[in-house]
Amino acid sequence: VREFDVIRAFSARFPAPPEAVIEPAGDDCAVVRLGGETWVAAADMLVSGRHFEDWAPPEDVGYKAVAANVSDVAAMGGIPRFVLVSGGAPDPEVVLRCMEGVLEACREFEVYPLGGDTTGADALVVDVAILGNLETEPILRSGARPGHLLAVTGELGASAAGLIALQAGGRKPARLVARHLRPRPRVAVGRAAARLGAGAMIDLSDGLASDVRHLCDRSGVGCRIDLDRLPVADDTRAYLLSRVREPRLVAATGGEDYELLLAAPEDVIGTIREETEVPLTVVGEVTPGSQPEFALGGRVVANLAGWDHF
């Protein structure tokens, strides 16, 4: 996947981290210890023609850029606090509309916009950098151990179904489109998982098939995932079937659900489930192997891939 080759090539050139850096680039957020407090930091960029097309109102693009960053803080078990936002477009009016969505998301997720930059650009682009803090130890991608169960929050595939609807034109199921354009990151569940002792966590931005591979790679483990257990809502399933798409495969590869995938002992999963209103569905287990394995209808599925941003 080319995006990850680029990230690997350039992060390999980073100098040795100073003492304050607890966890350098490579997780959902980097982690730094400052003045006795632990902070997490990340950035994420959305570009017209790559991440969205003309069907996305600029307000939704701005909203989603903040939401995607909030989701990365959630994946560490952190509390989102501050953003810096930069954006550009050919038309200043479009930038202003995008920033409306940014501010709406800031209110919604209780983050404060510290500032940023704006410029003319050939196409709408928005970049958000986020800071969050931690009241617990961070939950890293590297803490999955054989015997842990793998669980996902909420539902999968709705965002991809919404994207398919936006691209197809015609009938657009409003709930699915909203799941794509205005994702709801799982901050409360992430914080509960960190407090209650989850082993590893990642947010599902590129798609379960791709994101679980990051978790396995960083933890040095394998896993088995049963695609029949993926939480796919009835309207998602019905819409995907109407487009002649296999709902479980779309749910596994579609991306941009901004749900959390966590690895934890069974009793911890049970406690997290009791503490939150968001459904938590066990979809598989961590194994001593080195690769994720996926099964569909009892048969192994090979070559499940996620979304490549290049």
- Which residues are at the interface with Mg ion (CB under 5 A)? 28, 72, 203, 205
Q: Are 240 and 294 in contact (CB under 8 A)?
A: no
Smaller CB distance to Mg ion: residue 28 or 259?
A: 28
Smaller CB distance to Mg ion: residue 39 or 239?
A: 39
Provide, rounded to whole angstroms, the least separation between the CB of residue 131 and Mg ion.
Answer: 16
Burial class (CB in 10 A: 0-12, 13-18, 19+), 53: exposed
Q: In this structure, which amino acid lies at residue 116?
A: G
Distances (CA, A) of 107 to 100, 114, 160: 11, 13, 26
Provide, rounded to whole angstroms, the least separation between the CB of residue 172 and Mg ion.
Answer: 27
Provide, rounded to whole angstroms, the least separation between the CB of residue 268 and Mg ion.
Answer: 21
Smaller CB distance to Mg ion: residue 97 or 186?
A: 186
Provide, rounded to whole angstroms, the least separation between the CB of residue 224 and Mg ion.
Answer: 22
Q: Are 197 and 191 in contact (CB under 8 A)?
A: no
Provide, rounded to whole angstroms, the least separation between the CB of residue 75 and Mg ion.
Answer: 5
Smaller CB distance to Mg ion: residue 28 or 226?
A: 28
Provide, rounded to whole angstroms, the least separation between the CB of residue 155 and Mg ion.
Answer: 18
Nearest residue to Mg ion, by Cβ distance, number only:
28
Distance CA 307, CA 79 (A): 27
3-state SS, residue 29 = coil
Smaller CB distance to Mg ion: residue 203 or 259?
A: 203
Q: In this structure, which amino acid lies at residue 52?
A: F
Burial class (CB in 10 A: 0-12, 13-18, 19+), 36: exposed
The contacts of residue 68 (CB under 8 Å, 6+ apart) are 44, 46, 128, 183, 185, 205, 258
Distance CA 142, CA 200 (A): 6
Smaller CB distance to Mg ion: residue 23 or 28?
A: 28
